[in-house]
Amino acid sequence: MGLSYAGRAPRVDGMAAERVPVYHTGQNAGRSSGGTGTVSLPASVSIVEVGPRDGLQNLTQTLPTGEKIRYIRLLAASGLKSIEVTSFVSPKAVPQLADAAETVAGLRDLPITPIALVPNLKGARNAVAAGVPTLNFVFSVSASHNRSNVNRTREESLADLAGIVALAGEVPGVRVRASLATAFGCPFEGQPPIAEVLRWVGAAARLGIAEVTLADTVGFANPESVRRILAACRERFPDLTYGVHFHDTRGMGIANALTAMQCGVTVLDAAAGGLGGCPFAPGASGNIATEDLVFLCGEMGVKTGVDLARLFEASRFLQGALPGVCLPSRVLQAGLPKARGPIVG
């Protein structure tokens, strides 16, 4: 592991190109994490950057559209390829993302896969009309949270998902992934039985969903619960691709992410700076920070394709644009490990 400097290359954000440090991963990609019976880590993972949506939706401040687009461009410049850029929801419910269509329009030239969260069929239609190729439909394991979050029963949400899958089938290039909120715990109902998680994962799978993200919406999860739920899901529905979405409410987010990777998960949501939270879930706080996840992966030999120095630029830009907002990422605050030199004497 170490720092070197990348060659000059075009900048996605339009700024002058500079020679910037590239954080090299270790030499243990794909190897066992050590000890008898341990599980090997994947050689590489795909990080889904959710900061522009999940990170901004819970703030009291609203980032202007132009600065939002600049922020996403900086994230793309770091090497992030899958970015959840906005949410097509009621502007009354989430005014911070009322500019969803305008945001998407300002990103058409970027070499990324833009993703938009959609809570219902109306939102999906608006996202498709705006040119979004990947729709992330969210509904909850918990009946109470689903009512609080999208004002629907779970059955009504499932009917919406069926309509969204049909809509995507009519538009070439559009795909749908499903995020299952409160899969590890709910602020209203507590921890759901694994059978209930399996029930709704199966319901999504029967509609033709191939990728399901299990979300720890309010930070209830721990490594053992992550292991149990992922094992049950993969045993019952082995053909699905699983992603994970962890909040760091109780400091367990990175430990949970490592456990998920040990269980074979290669799609992980994270938010630059560690922002995030659900305005309709009491107690929800920030997502795991993208910087922290990239650093973890680099230290353990798992490739992400993300340049940490460029990622720092994006988070520092956001900090400058929203000076009253704290970015809790540990790696952003501390920087990369650096030897100061031996003490002689």
With respect to residue 20, please indicate whether it lies within any of the assigned structural domains: no
192: containing domain: 44-334
With respect to residue 16, please indicate whether it lies within any of the assigned structural domains: no
Q: Which of 233, 278, 297, 326 is catalytic?
A: 278
Residue 329 is part of a domain; what is its CATH number? 3.20.20.70
Three-state DSSP at 170 gives: helix
With respect to residue 345, please indicate whether it lies within any of the assigned structural domains: no
With respect to residue 31, please indicate whether it lies within any of the assigned structural domains: no
Strands 3-5 and 21-23, by their bridges, are: antiparallel
Question: Are the beta carbons of 317 and 304 closer than 8 angstroms?
Answer: no
What's the CA gap between 106 and 158, in Å, rounded?
32
Per-residue pLDDT of the chain (345 residues; tens, 9 = 90+): 333 323 333 343 443 333 333 434 343 444 444 444 555 899 999 999 999 999 998 888 899 999 999 999 999 999 999 999 999 999 998 999 999 999 999 999 999 999 999 999 999 999 999 999 999 999 999 999 999 889 999 999 999 999 999 999 999 999 999 999 999 999 999 999 999 999 999 999 999 999 999 999 989 999 999 999 999 999 999 999 999 999 999 999 999 999 999 999 999 999 999 997 655 445 556 899 999 999 999 999 999 999 999 999 999 999 999 988 889 999 999 999 998 899 987
With respect to residue 155, please indicate whether it lies within any of the assigned structural domains: yes
Q: pTM for this structure?
A: 0.87
What's the CA gap between 79 and 166, in Å, rounded?
32
With respect to residue 112, please indicate whether it lies within any of the assigned structural domains: yes
* Residue 186 annotated to the active site: no
Domain count along the chain: 1
With respect to residue 342, please indicate whether it lies within any of the assigned structural domains: no
CA torsion, ordered 93, 75, 17, 325, to nearest 10 deg? 60
With respect to residue 10, please indicate whether it lies within any of the assigned structural domains: no
